Structure 1
Amino acid sequence: MYTLFPSIKLQISSQNCAFLTSTILLNILIFLFLNRPTPPRPLPSTQFEFPDDCEFGKVYVYDLPPILNKDLLQSCNNSAEFWSSRCNDLSNGGFGPHATGLEHIVPQNLTPAWYWTDLYAGEVIYHKRILNYKCRTLNQDQATAFYIPFYVGLSIGKYLWLNHTANDIDSHSLAMLKWVKNQDPWKKRNGSHHFIMLGRLTWDFRRITPDSDNEWGTSLLNMPLMKKVLRLTPERNVWDEMEISVPYPNPFHPRSVSDIHQWQSVLRSKNRSNLFCFVGGARKYIKHDFRDLVLTYCKNESDSCRVVDCSVFPCYEGANATIATFLDSDFCLQPKGDGFTRRATFDCMLAGAIPVFFWKGSFENQYQWHLPTNSESYSVFIDNKDVRNDSTIIRRVLEKYNRDEVKKMRETIIDFMPKFLIATSDANLGSTKDAFDIAIEGVLRKFKQQNEDALKNN
């Protein structure tokens, strides 16, 4: 008898023979299974294992020549933007330096998640995030979308404030298009299904006259090869269907979903002593500057309005004063800035304050993937013309909101807050999606729908 099972007697009855044979065979199979050779582990190469939830497809990231991104980042000291070198602003993967001075404003365990993030750092931030994106592919044939990680905002920063030629400011953009048009995915699709992140407002990339040395910005978006390229930007041209606006980067970059929940709890329990506030600076060089009007009015309403004057205080080089001001106010006044939108709008909502807009262009047809369609659920609109006629209308309008209405609007903001945050690249947010997730998924969804529509029409 086979000695692998010594407990079985040699003398067995015929009626148990079939059962015993089955048992022996079963044990042999188990033994062989447990002692089978271990299959080799997959190589920890650059290949990705894609999750099952990439329902809208995958994104391929071009490996551009360094002169179009990495070299621009490393030459940050060469920026001619008048306020400072960009190196500090763009450190820590675009998040900027770690925030300091928040010990009495933010819970201590959350302070490592706060940075002094520059409003124009989106190109660097999105590039770092997309390299670790769960639905990234290294196989061009598997991709639904193709990302061009060109730091175009950085490339023009060194020219915007000094004398330059059109060739100077367009040189990197032309180099990018010359390179990308020779790539197989571009040639197969004639430039469609490609997208780019613009770190600055769309207006900085729309110089009308190609060879003009006197007009503002680069002509990138008016170059023929850009016609089919989708653009993500902090402020979109609402008449351009190829542009999608995404929230400005703000100081809070959660490391986990618990970071988000804890900060939401802070906002729900916060007692606020000011009806409204204004964080911004007057621009004396602009005739009849509306921000100057709001600033002057707020200073005269010191019993109800708290002011941070950014023309005398460096608001974003130690923004603890701005965060504290927003945290202590029910409403925050948001006149338009360089464009219709402002980074301060998101800083304000990050602190649970309710934005007050004076131009419909500040919210209509902007951030459609990230903010509620019903603007009245989270903001107030007062026409700028009415304010020019009588600035006291601001207080009169805001005082009409009772405590329950204010609480309801704040709760709406707190609920959709994750949609305008940008988490760290290694954050574990579970099923929660941040601004980056929503933007990239939106791009993939859009391109997938285009593919499906094309198949139906053929």
Structure 2
Amino acid sequence: MALKNSATTISSFLCSVPTLFLSFTAFLLTLSISFFFLFSNPRTQFVSQITPSESHDSIKVYVADLPRSLNYGLLDKYWSSAPDSRLSIDSDRQITSTHVPKNLKFGPYPENPLIKQYNAEYWIMGDLMTPDDLRSGSFAKRVFDAAEADIVFVPFFATLSAELQLGTAKGAFRKKMGNEDYERQREVVDFVRKTPAWKRSGGRDHVFVLTDPVAMWHVRTEIAQAILLVVDFGGWYKLDSKSSNGSSSDMIGHTQVSLIKDVIVPYTHLLPKLQLSEDQRRHKLLYFKGAKHRHRGGIVREKLWDLLVNEPGVVMEEGFPDATGREQSITGMRTSDFCLHPAGDTPTSCRLFDAIQSLCIPVIVSDNIELPFEGLVDYSEFSVFVAVSDALRPNWLVGHLRSFSKEQKDKFRRNMSRIQPIFEYDNGYPGGIGPIPTDGAVNHIWKKVHQKLPLIKEAIVREHRKPAGVSIPLRCQCI
């Protein structure tokens, strides 16, 4: 009866259509046309005024005008400095004498594995430095007026700055006096905080790349409101008791990082990519290479080591993928079905991305892990997630991994091969200046930053309407 009455009403409205079927069809057509014009008109009254960009296929980026000494100048400093005191063999000193041309405007990033794993800052900057006519594949559109920008990118090579200090005078790192890294941090923060762009937004739309867990160590509270590109939050919640001397004033506040405003980015993998077509028979069950003894969350790693070290089909090796260790890691990861990824000093490491490039199924034992590009990538399609409590049960983990069929493992590897490019930074151009892969890490970073913009714009508007003298306490934006 209700359908009949609706048809009568529609027929009466259309006047010229006598049948129920045609009336209903005409109604749907009219409704579709109305929705088309409503949502295709960019000036419709329902479009929010804080939409981050007129176009959803780009993000507008302004690059803060920092001096060269704070980015590419640090590369010049690195290549002219003494060998890294933390490495027994410094391969970069060999590279610089044979493969690095003199007077390069944009030098290569170090191959030193302690530094290379954090080189996202180099490739992101390279994208922004690429001429506009070559940047058609980038999700970021560079603008030269901060007032037009969605975000302000701060081009400080914070990781390289920190690692230069750690590699030459580690003892001065936690101090401010005699610490060149601290002086550079101070210069960056003092510069950006004086700019009109920072004053308009309180820094909330500024982007810092802090992939090294100790990058910008001394000034983190001053940039906490900005968009931070980090590999995880493990180095942000607190200092270990030894370094903080038990003083609560040295503890890092949990309000400084948040999945709402910040972006988790991949480590740079240190091992070469294995194509699915090149994959061969894997005769080991589980592989791990790394340091057994770590701080904080790494206690789980030590317990796992003791449980697994004598298990048949399991290989546990001590070491880091430097010259010798790299070859061991390549062999180990390419001949094992699964690669163990337990927490260390922080919840994640470049080991995860080495495993992905090696088509070795990651076994993630880290309850508090944050992963890059979630929402764009479903890690459960190619990884095994295990609760710490289960992993530490005797004989449980090996039995669980043996329960996966060949078909399941093959499916994991097929899925992994499809997402390998997402974790690639390198664009193949000298100095990193050149078109980036549309499906690579840099573009996915820009897309994740773009997703943050509506709430960041809202926070800026809320701050502007706050009466003078009123302070709103920082709160954990937990999700």
TM value normalised by structure 1: 0.67
1:429 Cα shift? 6.8
Q: Which secondary structure does the structure 2 equivalent of 1:75 belong to?
A: helix
Amino acid at match of 1:324: T
Match of 1:279 in 2: 289
The answer on 1:126 being equivalent to 2:124 is yes
Q: Which secondary structure does the structure 1 equivalent of 2:447 belong to?
A: helix
Choose which of 269, 276, 279 in structure 2 pairs with 1:265: 276
Q: 2:341 touches 2:362 (CA, 8 Å); kept in 1?
A: yes
Match of 2:212 in 1: 200
Further displaced range: 324-333 or 124-133: 124-133
The answer on 1:324 being equivalent to 2:365 is no
Choose which of 64, 80, 86 in structure 2 pairs with 1:82: 86
Name which structure has the greater RCO, CA cutoff 8 Å, separation 6+. Answer: 2
Match of 1:366 in 2: 371
Match of 1:146 in 2: 152
The answer on 1:166 being equivalent to 2:166 is no
User: CA separation of 1:337/1:79 partners in 2, compared to 1, >3 Å: closer, same or farther?
Assistant: farther
Q: Which secondary structure does the structure 1 equivalent of 2:340 belong to?
A: strand
Q: How does 1:287-436 map to 2 (within 5 A)?
A: 289-301=299-311, 303-310=312-319, 314-318=320-324, 319-362=326-369, 365-369=370-374, 372-373=377-378, 375-390=379-394, 392-424=395-427, 426=429, 432-436=438-442
Report the Cα distance in structure 2 between the residues aligned to 1:368 and 1:380, rounded to whole angstroms: 17
Match of 1:13 in 2: none
Q: Which secondary structure does the structure 2 equivalent of 1:219 belong to?
A: helix
1:350 Cα shift? 1.0
Report the Cα distance in structure 2 between the residues aligned to 1:438 and 1:287, rounded to whole angstroms: 28
Match of 2:201 in 1: 189
Report the Cα distance in structure 2 between the residues aligned to 1:455 and 1:383, rounded to whole angstroms: 41
User: CA separation of 1:94/1:122 partners in 2, compared to 1, >3 Å: closer, same or farther?
Assistant: farther
User: CA separation of 1:130/1:222 partners in 2, compared to 1, >3 Å: closer, same or farther?
Assistant: same
Amino acid at match of 2:367: K
User: CA separation of 1:146/1:271 partners in 2, compared to 1, >3 Å: closer, same or farther?
Assistant: same
Report the Cα distance in structure 1 between the residues aligned to 2:295 and 2:199, rounded to whole angstroms: 48
Report the Cα distance in structure 2 between the residues aligned to 1:439 and 1:409, rounded to whole angstroms: 24
1:53 Cα shift? 7.3
Amino acid at match of 2:221: N
Deviations 1:263-320 (CA, angstroms, capped at 9, x unpaired): 54335x432111111111222899994434444554423x41234321xxx5233523
Q: 1:151 touches 1:199 (CA, 8 Å); kept in 2?
A: no
User: CA separation of 1:369/1:59 partners in 2, compared to 1, >3 Å: closer, same or farther?
Assistant: farther
Amino acid at match of 1:246: V
User: CA separation of 1:337/1:232 partners in 2, compared to 1, >3 Å: closer, same or farther?
Assistant: same
Report the Cα distance in structure 2 between the residues aligned to 1:117 and 1:250, rounded to whole angstroms: 11
Report the Cα distance in structure 1 between the residues aligned to 2:450 and 2:297, rounded to whole angstroms: 44
Q: 2:373 touches 2:448 (CA, 8 Å); kept in 1?
A: no
The answer on 1:221 being equivalent to 2:220 is yes
Match of 1:209 in 2: none
Match of 2:247 in 1: none
Report the Cα distance in structure 1 between the residues aligned to 2:127 and 2:405, rounded to whole angstroms: 41
CA-based RMSD: 3.8
Report the Cα distance in structure 1 between the residues aligned to 2:392 and 2:451, rounded to whole angstroms: 43
1:179 Cα shift? 1.2
Deviations 1:101-140 (CA, angstroms, capped at 9, x unpaired): xxxxxxxxxxxxxx99721223233322332254222343
Q: 2:117 touches 2:267 (CA, 8 Å); kept in 1?
A: yes
Q: Which secondary structure does the structure 1 equivalent of 2:170 belong to?
A: coil
The answer on 1:244 being equivalent to 2:254 is no
1:345 Cα shift? 0.7
Q: How does 1:441-452 map to 2 (within 5 A)?
A: 441-447=447-453, 450-451=456-457
1:148 Cα shift? 0.5
Further displaced range: 402-411 or 134-143: 134-143
1:81 Cα shift? 5.8
1:377 Cα shift? 2.5
Report the Cα distance in structure 2 between the residues aligned to 1:419 and 1:327, rounded to whole angstroms: 20
Amino acid at match of 2:387: D
Q: 1:252 touches 1:421 (CA, 8 Å); kept in 2?
A: no
User: CA separation of 1:57/1:97 partners in 2, compared to 1, >3 Å: closer, same or farther?
Assistant: closer
For these two proteins, the number of residue pairs brought into alignment is: 358
User: CA separation of 1:386/1:144 partners in 2, compared to 1, >3 Å: closer, same or farther?
Assistant: closer
Q: 1:371 touches 1:419 (CA, 8 Å); kept in 2?
A: no
Deviations 1:159-179 (CA, angstroms, capped at 9, x unpaired): 583145235353222211111
User: CA separation of 1:292/1:192 partners in 2, compared to 1, >3 Å: closer, same or farther?
Assistant: closer
Report the Cα distance in structure 1 between the residues aligned to 2:318 and 2:417, rounded to whole angstroms: 26
Amino acid at match of 1:58: K
Match of 2:7 in 1: none
